[in-house]
Amino acid sequence: MFVMGLLVFIPISLALAHFGASPIIVFMTAATAVVPLTIYIGEATENLSLRLGTTLGGLLNGTMGNVPEVIIAISALRRGLEPMVKASLTGTLLSNILLILGLSIIAGGARHNTLRYNIAFAGLSSKLLLLAAVGLMVPALFHFASKSEEDKISVGIAGILFLAYLASLAFTLFTHRQLFAPKQAEGPIETGKVGWGPGRSLLVLAVAAVGLAVESETLTGALEPTAEKLGLTATFAGIFLLASVGNISEMINAILFAWRGKMDLTLAVTLGASTQVALLVAPVVLLASRLIGHPMDLLFTQFEVMSIAIAVIVAQTMTSDGESHWLEGAMMVAVYAILGIGFFYLPGRAGH
């Protein structure tokens, strides 16, 4: 009943936006409206995963969770906010890899002494993220060596990342699917409320996706004035405001899955969503930016590139043994907070 009650914020946020209310209030109400939609996505995906398997179910959840990122990015590009869009991609990666996975491990570790998961999936995700980090580093390195042909380099790298994503799907879903059998945590495993058939689950996913699309547009419209009122740069707002909105789905679902001891689904939602952002969402947004007349490149700032590299290394270190406990989650959140302080004090923040 509580979750259904939050749905009232959908018409409230739309009405506030229509009548020109304070952008901060619009932003907060729209973000609240996203919460029940993401919970329904998680429940529908969990029911589908029982029939499709953990790997495909987690892939579906990650894909649906990334729908808001794509919609928000395209909406922001139409407003000429390319730097904020690129920053949101960085923020999504950092949030999924460090904050959301860290909070999920803390939540799961509070109930289960040891959280176990499939080491094959964790290892594959870490390697794909490393590939993505290399792809994001090359434009920055080339920028300092030669400033010509930067746009062509971004397009070429985006194409390679997309092909790598397709190859990873073939590996996990077809040629080596036997490697990705789920592991269980030590302690009670909560299965959750199961009973939705495939038809109802798909219908809920579709309706929730439409609702997320509508709320994403509302949030985007309020984002820039909200950032201005709070005195934030486009980079900081993109990483910690725009990305946070798009990641609400992953955060809620990943924490719930970890609490129930389903760490394979948690990793599929967090690390799986991260690889999708780097290998799929970024190329799609790059292509969309050209179609709408606001071309974007993959040239990120030095601090963004280094932060992504640090996040990938930390995630690889923490998930390399196939099991975790709450302290590892706390350390991942701490790394995210440290990087957040760095981004907050980067030169150029409003008011400096």
Quote the mean pLDDT of the chain: 82
The string of pLDDT tens digits covering residues 209-228 is 788 778 877 877 787 788 88
Helix (H) or strand (E) holding 92: helix 82-94
pTM, whole model, 2 decimals? Answer: 0.80
| CA nearest neighbour of 254 among 162, 332, 179 | 332
Find out whether 89 and 293 touch, Cβ atoms under 8 Å: no
Residues facing residue 29 across a β-bridge: none
Q: How many CA atoms lie within 13 A of 255 on its CB side?
A: 15
Q: Does residue 311 have a pLDDT over 90?
A: yes
- Residue 349 scores a pLDDT above 50: no
Is there a contact between 235 and 83 (Cβ–Cβ < 8 Å)?
A: yes
Non-local CB neighbours of 193 within 8 Å, separated by 6+ positions: 43
Q: At residue 3, does pLDDT exceed 50?
A: yes
For the chain, the domains span 2-344
CATH superfamily ID and name for 2-344: NCX, central ion-binding region (1.20.1420.30)
pLDDT at 184: 54
- In angstroms, the CA 342 to CA 346 distance is 6
DSSP state, residue 297: -
Quote the crossing angle between the two packed helices 198-230 and 9-18, to the nearest 10°. 40
The single residue listed with the structure tokens 């309706």 is 207
| pLDDT attached to residue 350 | 40
> Which residue spans within 85-152 are E strands per DSSP?
115-116
CB atoms within 10 A of CB 111: 17
Q: What is the 3-state secondary structure (H, E, C) of 152-209?
A: HHHHHHHHHHHHHHHHHHHHHHHHCHHHHCCCCCCCCCCCCCCCCCHHHHHHHHHHHH
Report the distance separating Cα 142 and Cα 130, nearest Å.
18
Q: What is the pLDDT of residue 352?
A: 38
Residue 62's pLDDT is 63
pLDDT at residue 123 in the model: 86
For 117-159, the pLDDT digits (tens) are 888 888 888 888 898 888 888 888 887 766 667 778 888 999 9
Greater model confidence, 78 or 308: 308
Q: Is residue 348's pLDDT more than 60?
A: no
Q: CA 284 to CA 159: how far, in whole Å?
A: 10
